Structure 1
Amino acid sequence: MKILLISYYFPPYNTVGAVRPGKLAKYLHRQGHTVHVISSHEPPFVKGLPLEIPEVQVHEARGWSVNAPIQWLLGGRKKVAREGYMQSGSRSGWLQRIGAWYKTLLHWPDAEIGWVGSATALGREVLASTDFDLIYVTSPSFSALRVGHNLAAGTGIPWVAEFRDLWSDNHSYSHPAWRLYLDRMWEKNLLKSASALVTISSPFAETLKRFGKPVWEIRNGFDPDDLIDDIPIMETARDTLEIVYTGSVYPEHHDLASFCAGLASFRTQGGKARVNVVGRNVAPLLEAAKTWKVDDWMVFQPTVARRQAISMQRSADVLLLFLWSDGNSGIYTTKLFEYAGAGRPILAIGPHRCDVGAWIEDANIGAVVSDAQGIANNLLAWQKSKALTGRLETTPTPGHDFTRDTQFAKLETALETLLAAVRKQ
């Protein structure tokens, strides 16, 4: 197959939104398919993800930033991206309201609106260079869906829309009702021309069926190639639990207080831990830690290179995961699969009733707890085990496959079947 992949986020820029598109391109290229990519030019992220297809096949489109006025006021785009990991979530109410209205009025459909025109123009140039079979769009950014729709409309090439997160049905959608109505109409009109939809979980797939298109569930996963022997695994103190969290926190959905309260209880019972937090927008976790007086156990740093993040996960004793506190189903994050690949027990904070929590317990790769005492009890048990063995390890029970290749093989077959049907028409 000859595929044009549209993804605003793509390696080498180090953000979680670039991981799956990069791994998909790698898989397809390795299978002998031709993959060219339209991505963004110098987004506000540090480089650190490996580019695993030939560089000549990646085409970066420049764009303008709808957030430029705000970024200028805050010291510049790169400064905002660099320091965002520790920005406080407790800004004054009027600043929060201004920010929300700014996004509602100017993000159509999101902050990457200024990339759509240049990406569409560049996509037309690439499509004119050879005969492509398919346009594959992965979102978010949802602006990428506009690019795919535009290119398909101008060429007649079939296109497939992938939703790593949902758009108007998103669990954290925050715009007012009038904007939701417009987003729903816009999304429906864009997807009318799509040949199929892809998403990462069965609950999300059920939601997307309302568009009347074939929907394929292709889950996230980890790449065993990332777990090569030369990734360093650091030795840790035998009397201290090394807890690692990678990613952002969402205080309105993550139960930060219970985790910090449990950590405090663990401390009063003789426990000892260090919590390494890596990512952007993690200030609320520091604030909760200060409330429970465990902030001296916390070490914060911004996004690190992919290799270093994997090393930290594999060197950890416990991997911290926050589940959606309202029990929303279908949120199968990349982090969950990376943690499973790291082979360390997962401490999942949230409700047992959600599908992700049940999955973790069924696979025997961690514990799901929702109260401070339960958190403390699990940490005490793991500390005791570490003192005896020196290293905590987990292996998924048979029948649980967390690798990307298994999922991408399903997608490859679906795409080939789709194109075979198109050619018969």
Structure 2
Amino acid sequence: MRKVLVITYYWPPAGGPGVQRWLKFVKYFRDYGIEPIVYIPENPHYPLLDRTLVDEVPNDLTIYRHKIFEPYGISKIISGKKTKRISSGVISPKNQSILERLMLWVRGNLFIPDARKFWIGPSVKFLKKVLEEDHIETIITTGPPHSMHLIGLELKKRYKLQWVADFRDPWTNIGYHKKLKLTSYAKKRHKKLEENVLNNADKIVVTSKTTKQEFEQITSKPLKVITNGYDFTAFKESVLDAKFTISHIGSMLTGRNPINLWKVLSELSNEHEDFKQSLQLNFIGVVGGNILNSIQKYGLGEHINVLGYISHEDAVKYQQKSQILLLVEIDSQETTGIIPGKLFEYLWARRPILGIGPSNWEVAEMVSETESGDVFGYDAHSELKDVILNWFQAYKNNSLSVSSTNIKKYSRRDLTRQLAEYI
């Protein structure tokens, strides 16, 4: 078995798709001749928790932990709610308090590349013994937080090893980067660090073709697209909701507000009494206040069902029994290559996917290729309305379904095989 050290900030009991990506790779590595060793913080600040994921960690997995100092711990004392929003990526440009604006400025300009930067030096020292005693020749860093890549950069300078940098999201080209109130110096610093990582890593992994194309303008190092995926061995039929449920699984943050969708649903409710009586909007996860306000504005308040954050296991159940699965991305050029992790479980759930996102969104091609639903731009109206009405008619006839073809390539096991071969 070839030993590989995985350096990651997010690990169970943390919740979210970033955790699942590396939990699943670690789960299947041994099937492809790799013995994983994991390095994580001992006392992390996780904005979301899902303790059910702990059960999926292999019992005999070697895990090294080391203490981390995080400024979020201090700021939490000042304003816990605002700190949790910012650390989880909930950045709203509207109605920000002076404290929020200050916290964002500090986050973007003093904590470069992020607030986990204070773990870099201690980790490099701690891992010296680990690398030597475990005879590790390959390390993998996964970000964000991108400070994990700076740990890899420092280890690469000191030791003869192969370094694979996994980018679950872009760095300087991610949507929220512009909201961090960066000075010109901070922008240049972020860009320089990104270039250093991309040009010193031996191999780079990204989750979308768009990010690959962007990074190819910066580096000539090997780049491979390995998406997120689903981890289910056999499909089980579920009893579908009696209501015409449109469910969004996961955080629906500020900026992801498909006004035209609420307008279409309002029109259909006014035009068809049976549609009005059947419609239910499920939100499983954090929902922005502006989104709920917009839904209320279009007279759909009585149809809202907000469940908040639930375990991954329970989220999967909602995916399987929902009539329609809603997928929404921010309408901007920077998000065309963002492929939400939930997409792959949506595919496996075999329920119609209703996507709303930017022009040339990479997701649209994937949904079309798998015949799993329809994706629209933010300006869509009549065509969006026609599709939803057709789906509603199929729902009334108990025939609402999709093919979800050609999805095996997105299984976590097959994706791990691809990664193992690349390493």
Cα separation, partners in 2 of 1:393 and 1:55, compared to 1, 3 Å: farther
Residue aligning to 1:65: 70
In structure 1, the residue corresponding to 2:390 is in which secondary structure? helix
Cα separation, partners in 2 of 1:399 and 1:310, compared to 1, 3 Å: closer
In structure 1, the residue corresponding to 2:204 is in which secondary structure? strand
Q: CA separation in 1, counterparts of 2:52 and 2:250?
A: 15
What are the within-5 Å matches in structure 2 for residues 221-370 of structure 1?
221-225=229-233, 229=236, 233-237=238-242, 240-252=243-255, 254-270=256-272, 271=275, 272-280=278-286, 282-326=288-332, 328-351=335-358, 353-370=360-377
In structure 2, the residue corresponding to 1:60 is in which secondary structure? strand
In 2, are the aligned partners of 1:89 and 1:283 still within 8 Å (CA)? no
In 1, are the aligned partners of 2:251 and 2:286 still within 8 Å (CA)? yes
Residue aligning to 1:397: 405
What are the within-5 Å matches in structure 2 for residues 127-276 of structure 1?
127-174=131-178, 175=180, 176=182, 177-209=184-216, 210-225=218-233, 229=236, 233-237=238-242, 240-252=243-255, 254-270=256-272, 271=275, 272-276=278-282
In 2, are the aligned partners of 1:221 and 1:402 still within 8 Å (CA)? yes
Shift in Å at residue 2 of structure 1?
A: 0.7
Cα separation, partners in 2 of 1:85 and 1:102, compared to 1, 3 Å: closer
Residue aligning to 1:54: 59
Cα separation, partners in 2 of 1:91 and 1:207, compared to 1, 3 Å: same
Cα separation, partners in 2 of 1:118 and 1:342, compared to 1, 3 Å: farther
CA RMSD, Structure 1 to Structure 2 (Å): 2.9
Q: CA separation in 1, counterparts of 2:406 and 2:198?
A: 38
In 2, are the aligned partners of 1:12 and 1:51 still within 8 Å (CA)? no
In 2, are the aligned partners of 1:351 and 1:357 still within 8 Å (CA)? no
Residue aligning to 1:6: 7
TM-score by length of 1: 0.86
Q: CA separation in 2, counterparts of 1:137 and 1:88?
A: 29
Shift in Å at residue 398 of structure 1?
A: 4.4
Shift in Å at residue 191 of structure 1?
A: 3.8
Q: CA separation in 1, counterparts of 2:210 and 2:81?
A: 39
Cα separation, partners in 2 of 1:293 and 1:89, compared to 1, 3 Å: farther
Shift in Å at residue 306 of structure 1?
A: 1.2
Q: CA separation in 2, counterparts of 1:250 and 1:86?
A: 6
Q: Residue type matched to 2:386 in 1?
A: N
Cα separation, partners in 2 of 1:158 and 1:295, compared to 1, 3 Å: same
Q: CA separation in 2, counterparts of 1:290 and 1:171?
A: 27
Cα separation, partners in 2 of 1:48 and 1:87, compared to 1, 3 Å: farther
Cα separation, partners in 2 of 1:103 and 1:234, compared to 1, 3 Å: farther
Shift in Å at residue 407 of structure 1?
A: 2.8
Residue aligning to 1:98: 102
What are the Cα deviations for residues 278-303 of structure 1, in whole angstroms up to 9, with x where unaligned?
Answer: 22353332122122221221122332
Gaps of 5+ in 1: 416-425
Q: Residue type matched to 2:306 in 1?
A: F
In 1, are the aligned partners of 2:164 and 2:201 still within 8 Å (CA)? yes
In 2, are the aligned partners of 1:84 and 1:281 still within 8 Å (CA)? no
Q: CA separation in 1, counterparts of 2:348 and 2:404?
A: 9
Q: CA separation in 2, counterparts of 1:80 and 1:399?
A: 35
Cα separation, partners in 2 of 1:347 and 1:395, compared to 1, 3 Å: same
Q: CA separation in 2, counterparts of 1:89 and 1:300?
A: 23
Gaps of 5+ in 2: none
Structure 1 window deviating more from structure 2 (376-385 vs 335-344): it is: 376-385
Cα separation, partners in 2 of 1:54 and 1:125, compared to 1, 3 Å: farther
Q: CA separation in 1, counterparts of 2:60 and 2:260?
A: 45
Q: Size of the alignment, in residue pairs?
A: 407
Shift in Å at residue 156 of structure 1?
A: 1.8
Cα separation, partners in 2 of 1:86 and 1:123, compared to 1, 3 Å: closer
Residue aligning to 1:420: none
In 2, are the aligned partners of 1:266 and 1:377 still within 8 Å (CA)? no
Q: Residue type matched to 2:337 in 1?
A: G
What are the Cα deviations for residues 221-249 of structure 1, in whole angstroms up to 9, with x where unaligned?
Answer: 21224x665xx945421xx2112112223
Q: Residue type matched to 2:69 in 1?
A: W
In structure 2, the residue corresponding to 1:364 is in which secondary structure? coil
Q: CA separation in 2, counterparts of 1:375 and 1:92?
A: 34
Shift in Å at residue 122 of structure 1?
A: 3.8
Residue aligning to 1:387: 396
In 1, are the aligned partners of 2:27 and 2:58 still within 8 Å (CA)? yes
Residue aligning to 1:421: none
Shift in Å at residue 147 of structure 1?
A: 1.6
Q: Residue type matched to 2:293 in 1?
A: E
Q: Residue type matched to 1:266 in 2?
A: L
Cα separation, partners in 2 of 1:173 and 1:81, compared to 1, 3 Å: closer
In 2, are the aligned partners of 1:265 and 1:372 still within 8 Å (CA)? no
Structure 1 window deviating more from structure 2 (273-282 vs 397-406): it is: 397-406
What are the Cα deviations for residues 324-354 of structure 1, in whole angstroms up to 9, with x where unaligned?
Answer: 4235432222111111111110011135643
In structure 1, the residue corresponding to 2:248 is in which secondary structure? strand
Shift in Å at residue 309 of structure 1?
A: 0.9
Q: Residue type matched to 1:144 in 2?
A: M
In 2, are the aligned partners of 1:87 and 1:283 still within 8 Å (CA)? no
